[in-house]
């Protein structure tokens, strides 16, 4: 079920999630504590991570115990194979960080565990910001759907 967006009297956005029956304040930030920087965690993502794809993006995730009590730790990556110039890679990394920042409430409102994630841009095609934002929303919804399917299976066993 999709969360319900509420605009409260303090001019902040809140979400009412039916999964937890509570309000969740939306924050459109990407602080340092939410950035994936640990080499051990990145290695864990590549070795044990599961992935969800929505072309041209791929989201690799693994449940972790974060010391900062952040629900999501996110990193972004753009392949040097597709974009030889650092200027181009940095441009698409900036777009991925921005689309995550604006849409992370989809993840935080629906995740009960803590996750480390990495978002990859996997093509040499140059998509516009709005196209990438739509794909980011779709991949986050696909991730939540994937989580719900696996938790339903775990509860029935």
Q: Say whether pLDDT at 26 is over 80.
A: no
Span 45-95, pLDDT tens digits: 999 999 999 999 999 999 998 777 888 899 999 999 999 999 999 999 999
Residue closest to 100 by CA, chosen among 25, 14, 13, 35: 35
Span 90-138, pLDDT tens digits: 999 999 999 999 999 888 888 888 999 999 999 999 999 999 999 999 9
Tokens of 123: 């093509």
Scanning 13-128, the segments in alpha helix (DSSP H) are 39-48, 86-108
Higher pLDDT, 24 or 110: 110
Q: Supply the pTM of this predicted model.
A: 0.78
Span 3-14, pLDDT tens digits: 555 554 444 555
What pLDDT, on a 0 to 100 scale, did the predictor assign at position 150?
A: 77
Domains of the chain: 29-152 (3.30.230.10)
Region 34-48: what's the mean pLDDT? Answer: 93
């Amino acid at each position: 079920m999709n969360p319900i967006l509420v605009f409260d009297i303090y001019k902040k956005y809140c979400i009412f999630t039916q999964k937890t029956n509570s309000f969740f304040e939306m924050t459109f930030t990407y602080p340092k504590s939410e950035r994936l920087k640990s080499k051990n965690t990145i290695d864990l993502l590549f070795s044990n991570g599961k992935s969800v794809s929505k072309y041209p993006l791929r989201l690799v995730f693994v449940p972790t115990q974060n010391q900062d009590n952040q629900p999501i730790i996110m990193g972004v990556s753009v392949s040097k194979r597709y974009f030889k110039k650092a200027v181009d890679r940095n441009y698409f990394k900036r777009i991925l960080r921005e689309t995550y920042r604006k849409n992370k409430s989809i993840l935080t409102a629906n995740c009960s565990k803590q996750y480390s994630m990495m978002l990859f841009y996997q093509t040499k095609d140059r998509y516009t910001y709005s196209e990438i934002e739509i794909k980011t929303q779709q991949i986050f919804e696909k991730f939540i759907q994937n989580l719900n399917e696996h938790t339903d299976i775990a509860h029935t066993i």
